[in-house]
Amino acid sequence: MSKKRIGIFGSTGSIGKQALEVIAAHPERFEVEVLTAHSSADLLIEQALKFRPNAVVIGDESKYTAVKDVLFDKGIKVFAGPKAMVEVAAWSSIDMMLAAIVGFAGLAPTLSAIEQGTPVALANKETLVVAGDIVMATARRKNVPVIPVDSEHAAIFQCLVGEPGGCLEKVILTASGGPFLGKKPNYLINVKKDHALQHPNWSMGAKITIDSATLMNKGLEMIEAKWLFNLAADQIDVVVHPQSIVHSMVQFTDGSMKAQMGLPDMKLPIQYALGFPERLANDFPRFSFKNYPSLTFEAPDTKTFRNLAIAIEVLKTGGNSACVMNAANEEVVNAFLRNRIGFLQMTEVIEETLAKIPFQATPTLNDYYNTDTAAREYAASLINGLG
Ligand code: NAD
Ligand code: MG
């Protein structure tokens, strides 16, 4: 059997590194065709020396020489800059792209791979939040599978395997609740990044960890689910499940429900997406009910965690509103991580940005780019005013 050649876009991040662990555990199945990083040149070099890809791309052009000096002699092609990332994403030698870049920056390379006809394992949820209509329409036109890596969507995807079309009534996304589950605004007003970065169940990149603390992550995931599974807003529910064992659920038109369960380990959905339609064996730790005598479920507190309420509104509104929300969110998370604004101020900036940026009902890709730029500029000006 020929090996699947994987292009990992964002290989130096949390998802990217775990994907390389999965690949290392299945050398008979997978090979690395391309690795990319934004600025972590040393780690990119180390990964390339171990996995011997055909090419690497470093986003930060100032690091090009440093990477090339080491890898060129080893026969590994080196490119730099965002444009190169989009060009390399279109290489037909990539059998599957793992979209593991964080944020809006992942959109262009992911679309480039889909346009080329390359199947995508999608971790980068912001791609669908920003331009889910265009991304999924392109995937349908090119007959390209988009296999979710996000654990909730991987759960839903697995629950739907083998089911006939038209039998899905609703999906229920589980949320851990993050580190501030049960807390109220008078507590949240003072929390700092070090505390917000302590996620109870998952070890992830900084941006998604803050999104999990504010519940924006679940809002982004509702919008991601809408596009991946072609759902209406009222077909998507959220339930808080602090143990993160049930990764999400599907309710069918006969009232029956399916859930997908397992330990909170992103290597599972990564491996499932890379191996799909097969389910590969592994020796990762197993879940046991003995260690989890109680699995609990409760409604999310959208009065306290208003980012989720905002995202639900945006999910219903559609158009470019999710793009605005995403851009403002990326700016505020960045500012919070640099201790420039407080936890609750993140929500205020997102709300004000949504109120300011003109609504467009049916944006083009170019409109999404312009919306992203305008929303970021406005959110940044609000942050400057606060700081
Ligand atoms: P991370 O911050 O750990 O890694 C991000 C990767 O993207 C790095 O390799 C970085 O070099 C690259 N990158 C960052 N900015 C870039 C830019 N402007 N241009 C090109 N490359 C850039 O993030 P992560 O936690 O691995 O998350 C990646 C994506 O997967 C996010 O969209 C996140 O929401 C999603 N996701 C992550 C997890 C998780 O467990 N970490 C779970 C579900 C979904
Ligand atoms: Mg998730």
pLDDT in tens, 4-44: 999 999 999 999 999 999 999 999 999 999 999 999 999 99
Which of the listed CATH numbers 3.40.50.10490, 3.40.50.720, 3.50.50.60, 3.40.30.10 matches domain 4-148? 3.40.50.720
Instruction: Give 146-165 pLDDT, tens digit per residue.
Output: 999 999 999 999 999 999 99
The H-assigned helical ranges of 122-184 are 125-141, 151-160
Distance separating alpha carbons of residues 178 and 80, to the nearest angstrom: 36
Name the percent of the chain lying above pLDDT 90. 98
The CA distance from 71 to 67, in Å, is: 6
Judged by DSSP in three states, 202 sits in coil
Identical topology for domains 4-148 and 318-387: no
Q: Ligand 1 in contact with 308 (CB < 6 A)?
A: no
Give yes or no for residue 218 CB within 6 A of ligand 1: no
The β-bridge partners of 347 are none
The mean pLDDT of 242-255, rounded to a whole number, is: 98
**Residue-averaged pLDDT of the chain:** 97
Q: What kind of fold does domain 318-387 have according to CATH?
A: Rna Polymerase Sigma Factor; Chain: A (1.10.1740)
Pair 250, 160: CB distance under 8 Å:
yes
How far is Cα of residue 96 from the mean position of the Cα atoms in its chain?
17
Q: Is the dihedral of CA 337, 342, 343, 346 positive or negative?
A: negative
CA gap 235, 225 in Å, rounded: 10
Is 244 touching ligand 1 by the criterion CB < 6 Å? no
Q: DSSP letter at 64?
A: H
Whole-number pLDDT of residue 376: 98
Question: What is residue 260's three-state secondary structure?
Answer: strand
Of 129-138, 193-202, 274-283, 297-306, least confident by mean pLDDT is 193-202
Domain boundaries, the chain: 4-148, 151-316, 318-387
Percent of the chain with pLDDT over 70: 100
Residue with tokens 């529910």: 237
Choosing from 8, 20, 56, 101 the residue with most ligand 1 atoms within 8 A of its CB, the one to mutate for a pocket test is: 101
Instruction: Give the whole-angstrom CA distance, residue 331 versus residue 381.
Output: 10
Strand-pairing partners, residue 56, are 35, 78
Nearest CA to ligand 1 atom 20: 38
